[in-house]
């Protein structure tokens, strides 16, 4: 199933992500990976098993996040989540 969520708010972030050249998760939705990472970083959750997270994602959309690295997206989301948390204090 391809992801049907509206990720237009993330298109700038997605366009700056590196392409995933055939790695695990190449066809997973990088925008969803970013959001998962953001939530984990913001709530300072114990880091989940990244492969488990990526396995649970929907397939990528034919948009700016197509073939973007979901690993990079998750890491960037985590970073942004931690920063957002810090800035909100
Ligand atoms: Zn998605």
pLDDT of residue 9: 93
| Residue 44, in any domain of the structure | yes
Domain assignment present for 10: no
Question: Hey, is 8 helix, strand or coil?
Answer: helix
Tell me whether residue 5 is in a domain. Answer: no
Residue 33 and residue 4 in contact, taking contact as beta carbons nearer than 8 Å: no
Q: Which of 84, 73, 86, 87 is nearest to 37 (CA)?
A: 73
87 alpha carbon – ligand 1 mean position (Å) = 26
Q: How far apart are CA 52 and CA 18, in angstroms?
A: 21
Distance 34 CA to ligand 1 centre (A): 9
pLDDT at 80: 96
How far is ligand 1, taken at its centre, from the CA of residue 4, in Å?
Answer: 7
Domain of 35, in residue numbers: 17-87
Determine, yes or no, domain membership for 9.
no
**Could you give the number of structural domains in the chain?**
1
pLDDT, residue 20, reads 81
Burial (Cβ within 10 Å: 0-12, 13-18, ≥19) of residue 71:
buried
Q: Please indicate, yes or no, if residue 59 is contained in any of the structural domains.
A: yes
For residue 2, give the 3-state DSSP assignment. Answer: strand
68 in a domain, yes or no?
A: yes
Instruction: List the pLDDT tens digit at each of the 89 positions of the chain.
Output: 789 999 999 999 999 998 887 766 678 999 999 999 999 999 977 766 888 888 888 888 776 667 889 999 999 999 999 999 988 76
Contact (Cβ atoms closer than 8 angstroms) between residue 73 and residue 33: yes
Residue 57 lies in a domain: yes
Q: What is the pLDDT of residue 53?
A: 86
- pLDDT, residue 63, reads 66
């Amino acid at each position: 199933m391809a992801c049907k969520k509206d990720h237009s708010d993330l298109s700038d972030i997605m366009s700056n992500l590196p392409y995933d050249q055939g790695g695990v998760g190449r066809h997973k939705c990088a925008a969803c990976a970013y959001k998962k990472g953001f939530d984990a970083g913001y709530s300072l959750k114990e880091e989940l098993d990244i492969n488990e997270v990526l396995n649970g994602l929907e397939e990528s959309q034919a948009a700016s996040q197509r073939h973007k690295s979901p690993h990079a997206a998750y890491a960037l989301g985590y970073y942004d989540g931690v920063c957002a948390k810090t800035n909100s204090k």
